Amino acid sequence: MSSYAARRTALRQELQATGLDALLVTNLLNVRYLTGFTGSNGAVLIDAVSDDKTVFCTDGRYLTQSAKQVPDLERLIDRPCDAALAKKAKGKLGFESHHVTVDGLEALRSTAEKAELTRAGGLVEKLRLVKDEIEIEALRMACAAADRALAALIGHGGLRQGRTEREVARELESRMLDHGAEGPSFATIVAFGANSAVPHHAPTDATLHAGDFIKLDFGALVDGYHSDMTRTLVLGKPADWQRELYDLVARSQQAGHNALKPGVQVSDVDHASREVIEKAGHGDEFLHGLGHGVGLEIHEAPALSKVGDGTLSAGMAVTVEPGVYLSGRGGVRIEDTLVVRESGPELLTLTTKELVVV
């Protein structure tokens, strides 16, 4: 429980700095981050002074579960939780304006009789930018499950001529479960041949042929935390153009990796990687940002892109995933999940980035 209490203490400092008496947290991921509760209905009223006045709410379905997961807070069994907690609030009450709907806000106004509702979106997400060591260990385990699943897929001949993209995707997701994942982080991307030139190609019944690029973008979910990794392989002997394209993206990915340092602008990280590809004449074929934050969500702040805002801090978990996509021929993306550290980035996805020929 100490990690959740520490997060609530950090949030209280934000509440006091903004003059709020309490914050009504209704985003379920933020509720989980602050309390450990994993159910489908819950909210928490964070008092700006003390946990003694902080109240967690859920409904009767989670009576037993919430007692185990949230034993350190006052518990209210009621629904709807947001209205029940708003009714208890006094003073200046912040609410997650980025999450509450217009109708939801009207409902809060009708019940928060003793409180002044104030927009306070993004306060918890601001804390979630920097991961604590418990979160990083969950990310490390999620990345390990994905690494092991890919190794098993390759080792057992799962990438062979005649298999379909859908078959490979299903097997890769199954193997992640075998290696400790709760499920996939997102819908697995498997793209063969020319399909690998589509950045977010959805698996089809297209079959694998000798000489094809094989692009695999996938991740595992462990303790609510997501991993994200892309590897591009070749079935059979690579053509010269495939090796050249792969080597270019590998150099770009390493440049982005090397730029991950506390205090660096996120747009500068994107530039460091993108510049390598632009100088090779393929800037127009790098079709997306360099990367994104990862944690309780597969895509969260910070955004590593040309228009990304802010600077890196130690403890941020991000992806670095440059790609070059030659329409009608094939594409390469290489992606890792890393943690920004003072001594240099910690690599969590450990599968080799040498061009693997299967």
- List the chain domain ranges: 2-128, 133-347
Short-list 54, 118, 45, 53, CA closest to 83 = 45
Category of 92 on φ-ψ map: left (φ > 0), alpha (ψ -120 to 50) or beta: beta
pLDDT for position 2: 87
Helices assigned H by DSSP within 212-318: 240-258, 266-279
Is residue 200 over pLDDT 90? Answer: yes
Helix (H) / strand (E) element for 16: namely: helix 2-17
- Tell me what the mean pLDDT of segment 185-214 comes to: 98
Short-list 10, 72, 66, CA closest to 39 = 66
For residue 80, whether the previous peptide bond is cis, meaning omega lies within 30 degrees of 0, is yes
Short-list 25, 3, 7, CA closest to 127 = 7
pLDDT for position 204: 98
Tokens, residue 45: 């009223």
pLDDT for position 45: 98
CA 313 to chain centre: 17
7-32 per-position pLDDT tens digit:
999 999 999 999 999 999 999 999 99
pLDDT for position 70: 98
- Tell me what the mean pLDDT of segment 254-280 comes to: 98
Report the topology of domain 133-347.
Creatine Amidinohydrolase (3.90.230)
Number of CB atoms found within 10 A of residue 160's CB: 11
Give burial (CB, 10 Å; 0-12/13-18/19+) of 104. Answer: middle
Confidence of residue 186 (pLDDT cuts 50, 70, 90): very high
- DSSP string across 329-345: TEEEE-BEEEE--TTSP
The superfamily CATH assigns to domain 2-128 is Creatinase/prolidase N-terminal domain (3.40.350.10)
- Tell me what the mean pLDDT of segment 201-206 comes to: 98
58-109 per-position pLDDT tens digit:
999 999 999 999 999 999 999 999 999 999 999 999 999 999 999 999 999 9
Tokens, residue 277: 């590809």
pLDDT for position 256: 98
Tokens, residue 160: 């062979």
Is residue 1 over pLDDT 80? Answer: no
pLDDT for position 78: 96
Query: Can you tell me which residue has the tokens 């702040």?
Result: 301
Is the pTM of the predicted complex or chain greater than 0.85? yes
Give 332's strand partners. Answer: 324
Using the Cα atoms of residue 130, residue 134, residue 135 and residue 141 in order, give the sign of their dihedral: positive
Measured CA to CA, the distance from residue 123 to residue 138 in angstroms comes to: 23
Percentage of residues in the chain having pLDDT higher than 70: 100
Is residue 292 over pLDDT 70? Answer: yes
Confidence of residue 162 (pLDDT cuts 50, 70, 90): very high
Mean pLDDT, the chain, rounded, equals: 97
